[in-house]
């Protein structure tokens, strides 16, 4: 290269500089330079590993968070839908029972309402034991219950007063 540049007379300073760099590259690396290079590489690798770990943790957190939110929304939606379906079934059954109560006309329905207002059905059924309970000829269980058809004439004493 030196011969060519001398012959042409162009770029002699550039050629000298390239030759100096090439000569410097031929010398072996010193122990200090090698230790600094290793330390620099280790720091860079540690920094990159930490960056990757943070990115992975954030990504994992976002994925799990999204899955959790999706599960909660689906569970809430399913619960709401099941509740609506159950309520619709209850309303349908109540409508059918009311239709049965009205099958004999509004007077019969009013009679049922009066019986429900005047009587404590859970309390009466709780008394359905012992000599009041029996089985009829068809095998159905039955019970003798007091059924009130008019309101009490005097106030009923409370349980606490007894």
**What contacts 2, CB < 8 A, 6 or more positions away?**
15, 19
Angle (CA) 87 90 96, round 5°: 145
**What is the C-alpha to C-alpha distance for residues 113 and 124, in angstroms, rounded to an integer?**
17
Percent of the chain with pLDDT over 70: 87
* 3, two tokens: 């011969």
Query: Per-residue confidence at 43, pLDDT binned at 50, 70, 90?
Result: confident
Is residue 32 over pLDDT 80? yes
**What pLDDT score was predicted for residue 21?**
78
The tens digit of pLDDT for each residue in 80-125 reads: 988 888 888 888 888 888 787 778 888 888 888 888 889 988 888 8
Q: What is the Rg, in whole angstroms, of the alpha carbon atoms belonging to the chain?
A: 48
* 19, two tokens: 């030759």
**What pLDDT score was predicted for residue 11?**
64
Is residue 152 over pLDDT 90? no
Q: Name the pTM for this structure.
A: 0.34
What are the CA-CA distances from residue 58 to residues 62, 63, 66 (Å)?
6, 9, 12
């Amino acid at each position: 290269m030196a011969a060519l540049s001398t012959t042409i007379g162009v770029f002699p300073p550039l050629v000298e500089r390239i030759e100096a760099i090439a000569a410097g590259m031929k010398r072996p690396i010193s122990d200090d330079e090698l230790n600094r290079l290793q330390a620099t590489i280790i720091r860079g690798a540690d920094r990159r590993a930490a960056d990757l770990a943070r990115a992975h943790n954030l990504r994992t957190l976002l994925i799990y968070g999204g899955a959790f939110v999706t599960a909660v929304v689906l569970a809430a939606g399913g619960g709401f839908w099941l509740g609506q379906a159950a309520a619709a079934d209850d309303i349908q059954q109540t409508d059918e029972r009311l239709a049965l109560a009205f099958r004999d006309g509004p007077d019969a329905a009013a009679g049922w309402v009066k019986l429900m207002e005047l009587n404590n059905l859970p309390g009466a059924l709780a008394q359905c034991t012992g000599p009041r309970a029996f089985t009829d000829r068809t095998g159905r269980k039955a019970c003798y219950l007091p059924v009130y058809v008019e309101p009490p004439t005097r106030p009923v004493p409370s349980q606490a007063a007894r």
